[in-house]
Structure 1
Amino acid sequence: MPIDAAAALAAEPRTGGISWTAKDVQLYHLGIGAGTDPDKESPATDPDELRYTLESRLHVLPSFATVAGSGSPGVISGLSMPGVDVDLATVLHGGQTLTIHRPLPTAGAATATGRIAAVYDKGKAAVLVMRTEVADAEGPLWTNDAQIFVRGEGGWGGDRGPSARPEPPTGEPDRTVERPVRPDQALLYRLSGDLNPLHADPEFAKLAGFDKPILHGLCTYGITLKAVVDSLLGGDVTRVRCYSTRFAGVVFPGETLRVRMWRGDGRIQVTVSAVEREDAPVLADTIVQHS
């Protein structure tokens, strides 16, 4: 069996140094659509967008943590951990939970420690929970949990994992916005570190069962968090405490995302759908916890 759950869980964590600069942050922000807000007359020079693109005003959207120091312990690295030997074409990103311990600096150096925190048997697929904990000289910065589905690798009788899901939001959303995805969005976003050919190579995408390359789930994740921060958190990125989602469907570059938001007590529930495909679900079980 390509996945040996016991070996994967027992493997020693991988630790490495990471670093990032303001240019890395700016590139990431551009990769999730900063400077292209359709609700603004001149988004490229709008003061609210310059917070994401101009070094003298720069702040860091917390979802940058998913790409900071790319090449350090992370999803692709985790797929080569002891006990894991899988075909990249069978891999799908199932969900993401990011916990922010303090605001991210615009440039920095830190230590990232990655390990497989759980392995679940879903019958027709295995799910790997890859945890990365990042700290700098001042202490913890963030904890990142990626849930990775590996198709065709379940069925060994292991733990199925938690099944509880958040209650879906009810009533009319407090805010709904639409965010266009540029045709070249995946090509730009992949420069922040996720070079999986699924998002660029049509032939590889066909091998994975798609008619054409799809957008990175984490790009949709970043686009959504930016929409929430800009719409309901006053543009204050430091208010985000935790951000979790389940990837419910794919996005194709060139489509439009509809982001619906419901306010709660210290949290915002979100759903994201693809407008052109009759509101096909894209992100579900999505919650932004905030101060």
Structure 2
Amino acid sequence: MPIDAAKALAAEPRSGEISWDRKDVLLYHLGLGAGVPATDPDELRYTLESRLHVLPSFATVAGNGSPGVISGLSMPGVDVDLARVLHGGQSLTLHRPIPVEGTATATGRIAAVHDKGKAAVLVMRTEVTDADGPLWTNDAQIFVRGEGGWGGDRGPSSLPHSRLRSSGGTPTEPPAGEPDRTVEKRLREDQALLYRLSGDWNPLHADPEFAKVAGFDRPILHGLCTYGITLKAVVDTLLGGDVSRVRSYTTRFAGVVYPGETLRIRMWRQAGAVRVAVSAVERDDAPVLADTVVEHS
């Protein structure tokens, strides 16, 4: 069996030093589409080093995103085909604001392995600390098609990807009523090519032939790119542009996004949180992100 759950869970955590600087932060923000209009003072907070703040979702790529989704696939007990892998969901907890430049220790491990019958879900946890203490904790849900069925723990009933709904997952509906804010974001045709420069080199997002093998008409956008674009929309519209207010950010990747499409980002205010639903406008509002919550101060 390609996934040995017991071995994966028992494996020693992997730790390594990561570092980032202003250029990494600027590149990440540009990969999300920041800087339009280029002279907008609100956008300059993402694109000009003298005014720079760090969007919290940068935590998913800091140090080139390692350890992360790809490194999790090389952990003991895990041996899978990259073409069968999808990123099912992501949770981020901020312990304090991310500095513009930094060096830290990232420790990664497999925190859970779920048997969904027709697939397996690995939860890859990364904890990052620097000299001043904890910075952030990332949980990435890695969905591996065709690797379930060994009789293991099924985990949460909500499945991490819409392609699995036939296996019994129940997607959560967005809140009732009209959203407090709606933002539409048109993606560049080369959005995935820009975003991958921050460290996610999976050919699914660039190579048409690889995308076909994986079952897609053409390369798809990184789920974490949509994740970052969505958080930026929430910060800019409902949190007064203050990135330090974000406490945590969770989502489930409910469907694919193709570069060049338009994202419709709907936001509902709640006590200490913003609920979000994201869809692809050109495909009849096909769901893209679901079960999405930004907790804030």
Instruction: Give the aligned length.
Output: 285
| Bigger mean CA deviation after superposition, 80-89 or 157-166 | 157-166
Query: Per-residue displacement from partner, 1:215-256 (whole Å, max 9, x unpaired)?
Result: 000000000000000000000000000000000000000000
The amino acid of 1:159's aligned partner reads D
- 1:275 corresponding residue in structure 2: 281
Query: Per-residue displacement from partner, 1:63-105 (whole Å, max 9, x unpaired)?
Result: 0000000163111111000000000000000000000000000
- 1:256 corresponding residue in structure 2: 262
- 1:221 corresponding residue in structure 2: 227
Query: Per-residue displacement from partner, 1:129-172 (whole Å, max 9, x unpaired)?
Result: 00000000000000000001000000000000012676631110
In structure 2, what is the Cα distance between the partners aligned to 1:63 and 1:72? 14
Query: Per-residue displacement from partner, 1:177-196 (whole Å, max 9, x unpaired)?
Result: 10011000000000000000
In structure 2, what is the Cα distance between the partners aligned to 1:166 and 1:238? 28
The two structures have a TM-score, normalised by structure 2, of 0.95
- 2:165 corresponding residue in structure 1: none
- 1:40 corresponding residue in structure 2: none
Q: CA deviation at 1:35?
A: 1.1
Alignment of 1:178-217 (within 5 A): 178-217=184-223
- 1:13 corresponding residue in structure 2: 13
The amino acid of 2:180's aligned partner reads D
Secondary structure of 1:158's match?
Answer: coil
Query: Per-residue displacement from partner, 1:103-131 (whole Å, max 9, x unpaired)?
Result: 00000000000000000000000000000
In 1, are the aligned partners of 2:172 and 2:290 still within 8 Å (CA)?
Answer: no
Secondary structure of 1:65's match?
Answer: helix
Alignment of 1:1-291 (within 5 A): 1-36=1-36, 43-70=37-64, 72-163=66-157, 168-291=174-297
The two structures have a TM-score, normalised by structure 1, of 0.97
- Cα distance, 1:242–1:166 mapped onto 2, change above 3 Å: farther
Identity %: 84
Which structure 1 residue ranges, 4+ long, deviate > 6 Å from structure 2?
A: none
In structure 1, what is the Cα distance between the partners aligned to 2:47 and 2:146? 42
The amino acid of 1:154's aligned partner reads G
Gaps of 5+ in 1: 37-42
In 2, are the aligned partners of 1:17 and 1:72 still within 8 Å (CA)?
Answer: no
